[in-house]
Structure 1
Amino acid sequence: MKKANDTMKQTQEAHTANVRRFEIRNERCTAAMDRLGKLELEILQSFQKFSDIFERIQNKPEFRAFKHGDVTIPTYSPEDLKKVSVGAGVLLGGLSGAALGTAGGFAAAGATTAAVMALGTASTGTAIASLSGAAATNATLAALGGGALAAGGGGIALGTTILGATTLGMGLLVGGIIFNFTGNKLSAKADEAMEQMKKAKTEIDRICAYLESLHMTEERFEKALSATNNVYMRHLAQLGNLVILTGKTDWNEFTDSEKLMTENTVQLVALLFQMCKVQLVLSSGSTTEVNRINQVDIDLAINSSDAFLKEKGLTALT
Structure 2
Amino acid sequence: MPIPLIIGAGAVAAGLYGAAKGTSGAIDQNKAKNINNDARSSVELANQKLDEIREATNKTLEGYGQRKLRSFNGVISDFIDTFQKIKNVDLKQSAELDKLNAGDFSNKTLPNLKKDYKALQDAGLGLGAGISGGAALAFGAYNGTMLLATATTGTAISSLSGVAATNATLAWLGGGAISAGGYGMAGGMMVLGGVVAGPALAIFGHILGNKGEEALNIANSNMEQARTICDQANLMGDKLKAITEVTSLANTTFSNVSSRLRHAVSELKKVIDSEGVDFGNYSDQSKATVFKAVKFAQLLKAMIDTPILDKDGNLILSTQKRIVDVSEVASGEKSSLDSIDK
Partner of 2:159: 139
Distance 2:139 2:120 in 1: 10
Q: 2:278 aligns with which of 239, 250, 259?
A: 250
SS of the aligned residue for 1:52 comes to helix
Q: 1:130 aligns with which of 143, 154, 158?
A: 154
Distance 2:245 2:160 in 1: 26
The amino acid across from 1:86 in the alignment is K
Q: 2:324 aligns with which of 289, 302, 305?
A: 302
Q: Is the 8 A contact 1:25 1:208 kept in 2?
A: yes
SS of the aligned residue for 1:281 comes to coil
Q: Is the 8 A contact 2:325 2:334 kept in 1?
A: no
The amino acid across from 2:324 in the alignment is I
Partner of 1:56: 85
The amino acid across from 1:47 in the alignment is I
Change (3 A) 1:312 1:218: closer
The amino acid across from 1:139 in the alignment is S
The amino acid across from 1:255 in the alignment is S
Q: Is the 8 A contact 1:108 1:279 kept in 2?
A: yes
SS of the aligned residue for 2:86 comes to coil
Partner of 2:147: 114
Q: 1:217 aligns with which of 238, 246, 251?
A: 246
Q: Is the 8 A contact 2:192 2:239 kept in 1?
A: no
Distance 1:272 1:298 in 2: 15
Distance 1:310 1:6 in 2: 62
Structure 1 alignment gaps of length 5 or more:
120-126, 286-290, 314-318
1:79 equivalenced with 2:111 (yes/no)? yes
Change (3 A) 1:275 1:217: same
More helix by share: 2
Q: Is the 8 A contact 2:51 2:176 kept in 1?
A: no
Change (3 A) 1:64 1:311: farther
Q: Is the 8 A contact 1:26 1:211 kept in 2?
A: yes
SS of the aligned residue for 2:90 comes to coil
Q: Percent identity?
A: 14
Q: 1:14 aligns with which of 42, 49, 53?
A: 42
Give the root-mean-square deviation of aligned CA atoms. Answer: 3.9
Q: Is the 8 A contact 1:161 1:181 kept in 2?
A: no
Change (3 A) 1:105 1:199: farther
Q: Is the 8 A contact 2:308 2:316 kept in 1?
A: yes
- TM (normalized to structure 2)? 0.67
- TM (normalized to structure 1)? 0.71
Structure 2 alignment gaps of length 5 or more:
1-28, 208-217, 336-342
Change (3 A) 1:222 1:193: same
